[in-house]
Amino acid sequence: MKSWAVVLVMVAVACGSATAPVGAPLTIDQLKFKVMDKVGPPAFCDPDFYPVARVGGEQASALTAYPQIRADAELYSAIVAHEGLPAGDLTDAQKLTLYRAFKKLRALTLTPSGAGYAFTYTVDFSFVHATGSVRTDGEVTSLRTTPGARPNCPICLAASTVIATPDGPRVVISLRPGMMVWTQAADRTRVPMPVLEVGSTLVPAGHRMVHLRLADGRELWASPGHRLADGRQLGGLAAGDDVDGSRVALWELVPYSGDRTYDLLPAGSTGTYWANGILLASTLSG
Would 95 be classed as within a structural domain?
A: yes
What digits encode the pLDDT tens for the residues 230-277? 989 888 899 999 999 999 999 998 988 888 899 999 999 999 999 999
For the chain, the domain total comes to 2
- Is there a single domain that holds both residue 49 and residue 117? yes
Q: How far is CA 183 from CA 5, 234, 281, in A?
A: 87, 19, 10
Would 4 be classed as within a structural domain?
A: no
Q: What is the pLDDT of residue 51?
A: 62
Would 152 be classed as within a structural domain?
A: no
User: What residue numbers bound the domain in which 56 lies?
Assistant: 22-147
Give me the mean pLDDT over the 99-107 stretch: 96
Between the ranges 56-60, 108-112, 227-231, where is the mean pLDDT highest? 108-112
What digits encode the pLDDT tens for the residues 26-56? 999 999 999 999 999 999 888 777 766 666 8
User: Which domain CATH number covers 265?
Assistant: 2.170.16.10
- Is there a single domain that holds both residue 175 and residue 260? yes
Q: What is the pLDDT of residue 87?
A: 86
Q: Following CA atoms 48, 53, 54, 58 in sequence, which dihedral angle do they give, to the nearest 10 degrees? A: 30
pLDDT band at 149; cut points 50, 70, 90? confident
Q: What is the pLDDT of residue 2?
A: 40
Q: Which of 147, 178, 209 is the last residue of a domain?
A: 147
What digits encode the pLDDT tens for the residues 179-227? 999 999 999 999 999 999 998 877 776 778 899 999 999 999 998 878 8
- Is there a single domain that holds both residue 125 and residue 232? no
Higher pLDDT, 4 or 43: 43
Q: What is the pLDDT of residue 155?
A: 63
Q: Which of 112, 147, 182 is the last residue of a domain?
A: 147
Closest listed residue to residue 244, CA positions, set 162, 173, 184: 184
Instruction: Inform me whether the pLDDT recorded for 1 exceeds 70.
Output: no
